[in-house]
């Protein structure tokens, strides 16, 4: 394996500029700690912004900085103050951050910040591309760089790309409000492996790609542009051993300590937490003079309006509570607006009887896990918000709705009065979990999954990847080739409405090459109506099998009809009509040989519920009258059971007597062709199990394959 590249908005170092000297100090973060455990087996380089605006450094200083970073296996990305203002404070923190934390009213969508976001993602790409080798591995981090996987994929098809999203992925209802929803999703889909903290975020992401990009998911896999992308939950852990030092130095306090530590952020629910504490004080005067809330707020994103306003609000509320409940000898809240190095958090964690972590939304929240690790005696109690990702692993905490201030007050009381045995029982269970799922486990399991990823393997397919090599010898020898194509999903990408799938100039050109250059016979065998096929291809000497072979037009123009009358048609139509009324987005296509019920445009969860019901109703009818029910791509077809594509291709091959047959299709209905033409070069377009021998991923890939065959000299030579 080649080099591993970690790419994040910030490099894990702070730059100190004093007169002529530049010094770099490592800043400890979860990711940097986790990576220590892989460094020996896997060398890596880190790419990111060094934390200082480019214009603050002369050309010479920038060069020195680059060299110093180079010595630490890091590559700095130059960003100007304007880049930072528009990309970081702008699109990342004024659009993506509030939306992802469900603060719609704070979400701004400004074209200039989006332009900067695109430009900076491109800048990261430009910096890294000079260092990359095709078989390297790249791990991109977080919402500031959602476009980067796509940029990397376009330039380096064989690169292994992982992406981890550290914040919540919002539900479809919110994500769909982003003007750039498609670009962001397509950007992420450049990755091979996309990780989130929880299954809820995986579910939200999957629901966005299935609805917005109309991709078909298979469990945790997405087939996309000839690749398969894995999406899964990797809950981030901490380095537990880092938090288990200095236990003996805890100063005993005469108060019961309630601790709260956050970055200044509206997502952290600090005002609500203060109201919760106030509710506790109001309801429990017996605790006055006996408790103390240590409220530590680390400065963050200063000079952004909403953050400045929040700071004022917190200060007012702290003053109000201290003024109302405090006395000359007791202050209910100690408030500190400053950040501490992580080592200094330790004694705070260790002396806290209650840890109050009540964010309104939080991707994970490592502070909650750090408290559990630090409070080794098991006597502390964690109060944790249900809407923090960490709550899914730390279910023994006292879980609260962070908006319910009365419940927060009650939980504080419960925590302070919880018997020691119960505190220890809960602590032990959580400790066990965070020790096992620590940050080293997180890093290695993500990287291991990424390394396992291969670019040409479809875990759901029993077919092999169709390469021209598999058929080139037979094709080169052939004098009478026959090409049999399904239409929708094979010669034309599937469209939301069947009427929109009009043949492209590229398709006509391909047919022309086959007919003229190679004098090939061509058959289009489709579920579409024969009339429709004739309107598109009637001017060409092709076999046109409509309605799965109910009608067959030969190249010389003569036609044959097969099949019987459809006694069930009226009943099926009536049933499907009822479902159509209940399923917005569905439509019924009436054909000579049957009825198709399309649901491509329907809400996927609704389809999951209704589909079984529709099939059951149709099956009941089928027990009384001969009909065939087939499942296609987002379509249920009811048709004459005596007609299928297998019969059509038998007729066609018997008529054209080919010495080389290539047959391609994407749908369930095409399986009859594959199983009938056992000696043909059969190609399944798409993913999943098939009777075909080979597969390609999509229509584009199928055309690429045909183009390689077209390198053969013309049949006239
Ligand atoms: C994101 C997501 C997700 C050090 N000094 C202070 C302080 N630290 C350390 C803590 C902890 C870390 O910073 C804060 O971790 P969080 O998990 O709370 O969140 P963020 O860094 O804001 O950001 C979050 C995380 O990524 C990891 O994926 O869990 O949901 O938003 O290690 O020891 N923290 C605070 N004040 C200090 O003075 N608050």
Q: Residue 717: what pLDDT? A: 44
Residues 362, 486, 529, 640: which is the catalytic one? 486
Please check the confidence at residue 164 and state whether its pLDDT lies above 60: yes
Distance from the first to the final alpha carbon of the chain: 47
Q: What is the predicted pLDDT for the residue at 668?
A: 87
For residue 370, which atom of ligand 1 is closest to its CA?
A: 33
Q: How far is the CA of 103 from the centre of ligand 1 (A)?
A: 20
Residue pair 270/360 in contact by the 8 Å Cβ criterion = no
* pLDDT beyond 90 at 566: no
Res. 592 pLDDT band, cuts 50 70 90? confident
Q: In the chain, count of helices (H) and strands (E)?
A: 24, 29
CA nearest ligand 1 atom 15, residue: 366
d(CA 498, CA 637): 14
What is the CA(397)–ligand 1 centre distance, in A? 19
* Structure token pair of residue 514: 């086959």
Average pLDDT of span 427-435 = 96
* Model pLDDT, residue 434: 96
Compute the distance between CA of residue 414 and CA of residue 411 in angstroms, rounded to an integer. Answer: 5
For ligand 1, is residue 210 a contact (CB within 6 Å)? no
CA–CA separation, 382 vs 394, rounded Å?
A: 9
Instruction: Using the mean position of ligand 1's atoms as its centre, give its distance from the Cα of residue 97 in Å.
Output: 15
What percent of the chain is modeled with pLDDT above 70?
97
Q: Is 342 in the pocket of ligand 1 (CB under 6 A)?
A: yes
pLDDT in tens, 366-398: 999 999 999 999 999 999 999 999 999 999 999
Judge contact between 669 and 643, C-beta under 8 A.
no
Quick check: 459 pLDDT over 80?
no
Ligand 1 mean position to 125 CA, how many Å? 27
pLDDT band per the 50, 70, 90 thresholds, residue 54:
very high
Is the C-beta atom of 640 inside 6 A of ligand 1? no
Any atom of ligand 1 within 6 Å of the Cβ of 369: no
- How far apart, in whole angstroms, are the C-alpha atoms of residue 408 and residue 399? 9
Taking only the tens place, the pLDDT of each residue in 76-96 is 999 999 999 999 999 999 999
Whether residue 298 has its Cβ less than 6 Å from ligand 1: yes
User: What is the average pLDDT across 169-194?
Assistant: 97
Locate tokens 């080739």: which residue?
A: 481
Q: Is 521 in the pocket of ligand 1 (CB under 6 A)?
A: no
Ligand 1 centroid from CA 370, angstroms: 10
Domains and CATH numbers, the chain: 4-233 (3.40.50.2000), 240-436 (3.40.50.2000), 464-562+643-716 (3.40.50.1000), 569-639 (3.30.70.1020)
Residue 663 beta carbon below 6 angstroms from any ligand 1 atom = no
- For 403, other C-beta atoms within 10 Å of its C-beta total 15
Tell me how far the alpha carbon of residue 366 lies from the centroid of ligand 1, in angstroms: 6
Cα(51) to ligand 1 centroid in Å equals 18
529-552 mean pLDDT: 95
- Segment 17-30, tens digit of pLDDT: 887 788 898 876 76
For 599, the token pair is 């649901």
Ordered alpha helix ranges (H), 284-419: 305-325, 342-351, 366-374, 405-417
Report the residue among 236, 367, 389, 390 best suited for mutation to probe ligand 1: largest number of ligand atoms under 8 A from its CB.
367
Cα 326 to ligand 1 centre (Å): 31
Task: Specify whether 486 is catalytic.
Answer: yes
Most confident of 122-126, 336-340, 569-573: 122-126
Atom of ligand 1 nearest to the CA of 388: 30
Residue nearest (by alpha carbon) to ligand 1 atom 30: 363
Ligand 1 pocket residue status of 30, Cβ below 6 Å:
yes
The sign one gets for the Cα dihedral 177, 180, 185, 186 is: positive
Pocket mutation for ligand 1, best pick of 366, 391, 394 (most atoms within 8 Å of C-beta): 366
CA 365 to ligand 1 center in whole angstroms = 6
Mean pLDDT of 143-151: 98
490 pLDDT higher than 60: yes
User: What is the pLDDT averaged over residues 108-134?
Assistant: 97
> Band of the pLDDT at 427, cuts 50, 70, 90?
very high
Query: How far is residue 182 CA from its own chain's centroid?
Result: 12
pLDDT at 461: 62
Q: Is 46 helix (H, G, I), strand (E, B) or coil?
A: strand
Q: How confident is the model at residue 250 (pLDDT cuts 50, 70, 90)?
A: low
Q: Is the CB of 339 under 6 A from ligand 1?
A: yes
- Taking the CA atoms of 88, 94, 98 and 100 in sequence, report the sign of the dihedral they define: negative
- Pairwise CA distance, residues 120 & 73, whole Å: 22
Q: Which residue has the higher pLDDT, 31 or 112?
A: 112
Q: What is the pLDDT of residue 17?
A: 84
Residue 650 has pLDDT above 90, yes or no: yes
Is ligand 1 within 6 A of the CB of residue 239?
no
Q: φ, ψ for residue 562 (rounded to 5)?
A: -130, 170
The string over 618-653, giving b where at least 16 C-beta atoms fall within 10 Å of a residue's C-beta and e elsewhere, is: beeebeeeebbbbebebbbbbbbeebbbbbbbebbb
pLDDT value for 33: 73
Atom of ligand 1 nearest to the CA of 341: 5
Are 297 and 253 a contacting pair, CB within 8 Å? no
Which atom in ligand 1 lies closest to the alpha carbon of residue 238?
A: 32
193-215: pLDDT as tens digits: 999 999 999 999 999 999 999 88
Total residues found in the chain within this entry:
717
Q: Mean pLDDT of all residues in the chain?
A: 92
**Which residue's C-alpha comes closest to atom 9 of ligand 1?**
342
User: Closest by alpha carbon to 705, among 412, 425, 440, 475?
Assistant: 475
Average pLDDT over residues 347-375: 96
Lowest mean pLDDT among 389-393, 482-486, 697-701: 697-701
- Please give the pLDDT value at position 550: 92
Mutate which of 364, 370, 382, 384 for ligand 1? The one with the most ligand atoms within 8 Å of its CB, which is 364
Ligand 1 close to Cβ of residue 27 (< 6 A):
no
Split at pLDDT 50, 70, 90, the class of 606 is confident
Instruction: Read off the pLDDT of residues 58-80 as tens digits, 9 standing for 90 and up.
Output: 999 999 999 999 999 999 999 99
What's the whole-model pTM score? 0.80
């Amino acid at each position: 394996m080649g080099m591993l590249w970690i790419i994040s908005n910030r490099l894990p170092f702070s730059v100190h500029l004093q007169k002529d000297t530049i010094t770099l100090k490592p800043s400890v973060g979860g990711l940097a700690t986790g990576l220590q455990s892989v460094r020996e087996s896997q060398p890596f380089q880190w790419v990111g912004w060094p934390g200082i605006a480019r214009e603050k450094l002369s050309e010479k200083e920038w060069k020195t900085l680059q060299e110093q970073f180079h010595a630490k296996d890091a590559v700095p990305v130059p960003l100007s103050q304007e880049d930072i203002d528009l990309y970081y404070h702008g699109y990342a923190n004024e659009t993506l951050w509030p939306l992802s934390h469900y603060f719609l009213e704070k979400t701004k969508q400004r074209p200039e910040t989006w332009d900067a976001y695109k430009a900076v993602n491109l800048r990261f790409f430009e910096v890294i591309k000079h260092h990359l080798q095709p078989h390297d591995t790249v791990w991109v981090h977080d919402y500031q760089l959602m476009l980067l996987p796509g940029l990397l994929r376009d330039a380096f098809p064989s690169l292994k790309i992982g992406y981890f999203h550290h914040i919540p992925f919002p539900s479809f209802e919110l994500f769909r409000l982003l003007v750039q929803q498609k670009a962001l999703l397509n950007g992420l889909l450049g990755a091979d492996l996309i990780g989130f903290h929880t299954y809820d975020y995986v579910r939200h992401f999957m629901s966005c790609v299935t609805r917005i990009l109309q991709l078909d998911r298979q469990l945790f896999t997405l087939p996309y542009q000839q690749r398969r992308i894995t999406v899964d939950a990797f809950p981030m852990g901490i380095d537990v051993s880092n938090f288990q030092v200095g236990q003996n130095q805890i100063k005993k306090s005469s108060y019961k300590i309630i601790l709260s530590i956050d970055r200044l952020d509206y997502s952290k629910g600090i005002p609500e937490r203060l109201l919760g504490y106030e509710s506790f004080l109001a309801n429990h005067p017996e605790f006055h003079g006996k408790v103390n809330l240590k409220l530590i707020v680390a400065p963050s994103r200063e000079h952004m309006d909403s953050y400045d306003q929040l700071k004022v609000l917190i200060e007012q509320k702290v003053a109000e509570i201290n003024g109302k409940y405090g006395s000359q000898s007791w202050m209910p809240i100690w408030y500190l607006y400053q950040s501490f190095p992580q080592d200094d958090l330790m004694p705070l964690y260790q002396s806290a009887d209650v840890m109050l972590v009540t964010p309104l939304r939080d991707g994970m929240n490592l502070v909650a896990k750090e408290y559990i690790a630090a409070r080794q005696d098991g006597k502390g109690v964690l109060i944790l918000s249900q809407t923090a990702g960490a709550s899914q692993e730390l279910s023994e905490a006292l879980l609260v709705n962070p908006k319910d201030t009365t419940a927060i007050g009650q939980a504080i009381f419960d925590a302070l009065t919880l018997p020691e045995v119960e505190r220890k029982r809960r602590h032990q269970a959580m400790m066990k979990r965070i020790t096992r799922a620590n940050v080293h486990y997180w890093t290695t399991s993500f990287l291991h999954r990424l390394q396992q990823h291969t670019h040409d393997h479809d875990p759901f397919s029993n077919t092999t990847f169709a390469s021209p090599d598999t058929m080139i010898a037979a094709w080169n020898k052939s004098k009478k080739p026959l090409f049999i194509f399904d239409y929708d999903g094979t010669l034309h990408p599937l469209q939301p409405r069947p009427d929109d799938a009009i043949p492209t100039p590229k398709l006509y050109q391909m047919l022309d090459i086959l007919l003229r250059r190679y004098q090939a016979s061509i058959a289009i065998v489709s579920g579409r109506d024969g009339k429709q096929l004739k309107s598109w291809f009637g001017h060409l000497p092709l076999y046109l099998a409509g309605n799965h072979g109910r009608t067959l037009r030969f190249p010389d123009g003569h036609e044959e009809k097969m099949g019987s009358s459809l006694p069930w048609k009226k009943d099926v139509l009536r049933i499907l009509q009822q479902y159509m009324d209940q399923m917005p987005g569905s439509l019924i296509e009436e054909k000579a040989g049957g009825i198709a019920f399309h649901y491509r445009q329907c809400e996927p969860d609704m389809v999951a519920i209704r589909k079984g019901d529709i099939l059951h109703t149709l099956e009941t009818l089928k027990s009384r009258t001969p009909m065939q029910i087939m499942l296609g791509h987002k379509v249920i077809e009811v048709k004459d059971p005596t007609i299928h594509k297998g019969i059509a291709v038998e007729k066609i091959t018997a008529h054209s007597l080919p010495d080389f047959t290539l047959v391609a299709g994407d749908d369930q209905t095409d399986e009859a062709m594959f199983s009938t033409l056992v000696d043909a070069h059969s190609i399944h377009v798409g993913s999943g199990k098939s009777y075909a021998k080979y597969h390609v991923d999509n229509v584009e890939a199928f055309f690429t394959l045909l183009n390689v065959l077209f390198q053969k000299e013309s049949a006239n030579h």
